Structure 1
Amino acid sequence: MREIDAALPASAPDKVEAGLASRLADLREQHAWSLEELARRTGVSRSTLSRMERAQISPTATMLGKLCAVYGRTMSQLLAEVESEQPQLVRADVQQIWRDEASGFTRRSVSPPQSGFRGEVVEGILRPGSDIAYDQPPIPGLEQHIWVLEGTVRITTGDHVYDLATGDCLRFRLRGRSRFYCPGPAAVRYVLLIVLP
């Protein structure tokens, strides 16, 4: 079996991180929120938010999930806003990749970044032992389809727990907490289809 991490080419993290930091600062200013107010709304400390907005640190998947929730965006929408153009076609070698090394999560935006569309496709990879929890969805009622390409993953939505293996597909509407856990022994690679309500 091939190395899963080899499936994702390297990206330009400096450009993505700088653009993300700038976009996060812009969103806070658009809402006329102080760092203290955003910290209150997200549960992320003021100093951490400040360092993220200055591109001194990268947000974890959990932190980015909290920010997306308060700004009413999916993670793909937020990352697409970092892009200056909205192409119809994005070749595999230039698809945007975001890595959260701390949690062991790699996310590839497969769909061309376009505003106004309701669906998007994302490829996710979780290392063995990776455990990512989200307190709330970025948009309540978000429809998600998770199709496992390789490995196993445990998905928790609300009070429901699903163990998925290669080839399995789970569909649900996200209304509350969720959790993605890779029990191993190998990494899991999956396709996530997101449909806005």
Structure 2
Amino acid sequence: MNKKVNITTGTDASKINEALSASLKQYRSQKKMSLDELSRLAGVSKGMLVEIEACRANPSIAILCKLAAAMGVSVADIVNVASKPNAHLIAAGDIPCLWSGENGGTARLLAGTSGPDMIELWEWKMHPGEIFDSPGHSDGTCELLHVVQGSLLLTLGEERLIVSEGSSVIARTDLPHSYSCHEGGPLKFTMTVSERVR
């Protein structure tokens, strides 16, 4: 089981941490907002915000989502894979990995629109024993998932769904949920998230 849900280490983490640090500093400067105020607004500890602004933290996807929502932007805005007017090409080397599992799994944010109303496209790869837990997104968030390889165990609150290879599922993910590799072999799935940030 993956206990930590951190951004992957290495070059991706460094770029993402720098982009997040710059976004937080710019936002607080524009809004004349203290760390205490942003902490209350986002529901993220002041200590974590200090570490993020100093590029010393690898925040989880959940923390990225909370900060993006508090700032009225999308996670894609923060990691520089958000849409631009007309078209925005994202080179393969610029696609960030925002989660890495302890057995080699990854979650990459392939592309997304700018916030506050946003759509994101993700590619997930998971191996047996890996799990990603989410506390839930904002009200009305919907995810479309398609399993390309293997079998996905999707837990939504108390409900458990097994999504087999070639199958798809539509899920409201404004409640606690998790994804895990079900039964042997690797799992690969794509996910589109539609979220309206408050």
Calculate the TM-score normalised by the size of structure 2.
0.71
Structure 1 residues 81 and 121: CA distance shift in structure 2, 3 A:
closer
Is this contact kept in 2: 1:20–1:82, CA < 8 A? no
Unaligned runs of 5+ in 2: 1-9
Separation in 1, partners of 2:161, 2:73: 25
Q: What CA deviation, in whole Å up to 9, does each residue of 1:64-104 have, x standing for no partner?
A: 2333444455433442378999843334x234122434666
1:111-190 equivalences in 2 (<5 Å): 111=111, 113-115=112-114, 119-137=119-137, 139-183=138-182, 185-190=184-189
More displaced stretch, 62-71 vs 142-151: 62-71
Question: How many pairs are equivalent?
Answer: 185
Unaligned stretches of 5+ residues in structure 1? 1-9
2:7 counterpart residue number? none
Contact 2:101-2:126 at 8 Å conserved across structures: no
Residue 57 of structure 1 and its aligned partner are, at CA, apart by: 1.8
Q: 1: CA distance between counterparts of 2:83 and 2:55? A: 16
Q: Deviations over 1:28-83 (max 9, x none)?
A: 45555433344445554322221112211211223223334444554334423789
**Equivalent position SS for 2:146:** strand
Instruction: Sort the Cα spacing of 1:196 and 1:61 in 2 relative to 1 into closer, same or farther, 3 A.
Output: closer
* 1:146–1:81 Cα change, 3 Å: closer
Q: Which residue does 2:4 correspond to in 1?
A: none
**Which stretches of structure 1, 4 residues or more, deviate above 6 A after TM superposition?**
81-86
The root-mean-square deviation of aligned C-alpha atoms, in Å, is: 3.5
Q: Name the structure 2 match of 1:90.
A: 90
1:18 partner letter: E
Letter in 1 for 2:95: Q
Per the normalisation by structure 1, the TM-score is: 0.71
**Identical counterparts, % of pairs:** 21
- What amino acid is the match of 1:147? H
| Partner Cα distance (1:105, 1:32) in 2 | 39
Comparing 141-150 with 185-194, which one deviates more in the overlay? 185-194
Deviation at 1:153, TM superposition (A): 2.3
Query: 2:108: which partner in 1?
Result: 108
Structure 1 residues 127 and 18 mapped into 2: Cα distance closer, same or farther (>3 Å)?
farther
Contact 2:152–2:163 at 8 Å: present in 1 too?
Answer: yes
Residues 88-128 of structure 1 show CA distances to partners (whole Å, capped at 9, x for unaligned) of: 3334x2341224346665232333x5438854422122343
User: How much has 1:21 moved relative to structure 2?
Assistant: 2.1
* SS of aligned partner of 1:110: strand
